[in-house]
Amino acid sequence: MERGYDVRATARSPEKARSVTEAVSGVVDPAGRLSFAVADLTADEGWDAALKDVDRVLHVASPLGMTAGGDPRSLIAPARDGALRVLRAAASAGVKRVVMTSAANAASPSSYATEGVTDETLWTDPDDPTLIPYRRSKTLAERAAWDFMAGHDGPTELTTVLPGAVFGPVLTTENLGSVGIVARMLAGRMRGVPRIGLEIVDVRDLVDVHIRAMTSPQAGGQRFLATGEFMWMTEMARVLRDELGEAGGRVSTRQIPDLAVRLLARFKEPSLREITPSLGRRNRHSTEKARRVLGWQPRPTRETVLDCAASLVERDAVGA
């Protein structure tokens, strides 16, 4: 809306639509510019109406986090089937282009410990039994989307964007997702940090690359990695501790040994099991294609981390 577009968003309920409207009202005036259609990625109803007279679609929603009851299908089915519902409705409505948010870990070696830099030509192997359900869900959903488009001969184009770990300023404290890591650090609830590295992308830069992918004539039929600088969590902790002043005083910079994380995941904290494959991760991703084709220029990671923390402090979300 800041760039002049009228936006029709989907929400699973009118109540959710109201909360989204309230969240964006602090940034732009949504009056006459923002409308909602009620639709759910797990059901067919509502999608044709949602996409009527729509020129372009940004499909950004997908399940995130731990699986329900340990069942990977709780992530995989909504991600894959939801993407196909959006694509079918978009193709039926004659939408010009769908930009789908995938994930950088859909273009990664199966082993996170693999050295080197990879690009969009690599596909994660969804049949690797060591993959956590989230990685498998994002890979299978993107694969299904490209397979659908291969059998579609209409005018609708598909572009996919593959981001890294998304941080930056928040509009609302509801469902913080990955940003909750920063909130827990600021609250002193992380007495140490695991040896995990993140390719952090700013949410503002992620919005920018989606809009570039939506409008660039060269972007149709392409995958674009949208990762930021690689930063170890210990480095993130030091930035918060050293540069945030009093608000960073409770941040621990102590690194937890890999063995300790694995033992905790096995015996005391099952929620840690899905991060253990990332311990000591070495692989990076190249964003040369997004820079060259789309002219995309992400900001420094340090700025993203500090702006993220400042917004959490401002909204009294520390410890959320």
Question: What pairs with residue 10 in β-bridges?
Answer: 37
Lookup: tokens for 210:
């989606």
Place of tokens 């999608």: 47
Q: In a structure prediction context, what are the per-residue pLDDT tens digits for the chain, which is 320 residues long? A: 988 899 999 999 989 899 889 888 888 888 888 999 999 998 999 999 999 999 999 999 876 554 444 566 767 888 899 999 999 999 999 999 999 999 999 998 877 667 789 999 999 998 888 888 888 899 999 999 999 999 988 899 999 999 999 999 998 888 788 888 899 999 998 889 999 889 999 999 999 999 999 999 999 999 999 999 999 999 999 999 999 999 999 999 999 998 998 888 787 766 677 677 788 887 899 999 999 999 999 999 999 999 999 999 998 888 54
What is the Cα–Cα distance from 14 to 31, expressed in whole angstroms?
16
Lookup: tokens for 298:
């992400």
Secondary structure (H, E, C), 92-119: HHCCCEEEEECCHHHCCCCCCCCCCEEC
C-alpha pair distances (Å), 61 with each of 40, 97, 174, 278: 10, 17, 15, 23
H or E, element range at 255: none
| Rg of the chain over all Cα atoms, to the nearest angstrom | 20
What is the Cα–Cα distance from 301 to 229, expressed in whole angstroms?
6
Phi, psi of 226 (to 5 degrees): -135, 65
DSSP labels, 52-106: TT-SEEEE-----SSPGGG-THHHHHHHHHHHHHHHHHHHHHT-SEEEEE--GGG
How would you classify the pairing of strands 230-232 and 197-202? antiparallel
Task: Name the pTM for this structure.
Answer: 0.92
- pLDDT of amino acid 69: 44
Phi, psi of 224 (to 5 degrees): -135, 120
- pLDDT of amino acid 72: 64
What is the Cα–Cα distance from 265 to 273, expressed in whole angstroms?
5
- pLDDT of amino acid 253: 93
- pLDDT of amino acid 70: 52
Question: What pairs with residue 197 in β-bridges?
Answer: 232
The dihedral built from the CA positions of residue 215, 216, 222 and 225, taken in this order, carries a sign that is negative
Query: Cβ distance 313 to 183 under 8 Å?
Result: no
User: Mind listing the pLDDT tens digit for each residue in 158-210?
Assistant: 999 999 999 999 988 887 888 888 999 999 988 899 998 899 999 999 999 99
DSSP labels, 166-227: EES--S-SSS-GGGHHHHHHHHT--SSB-SBEEEEEEHHHHHHHHHHHHH-GGGTT-EEEE-
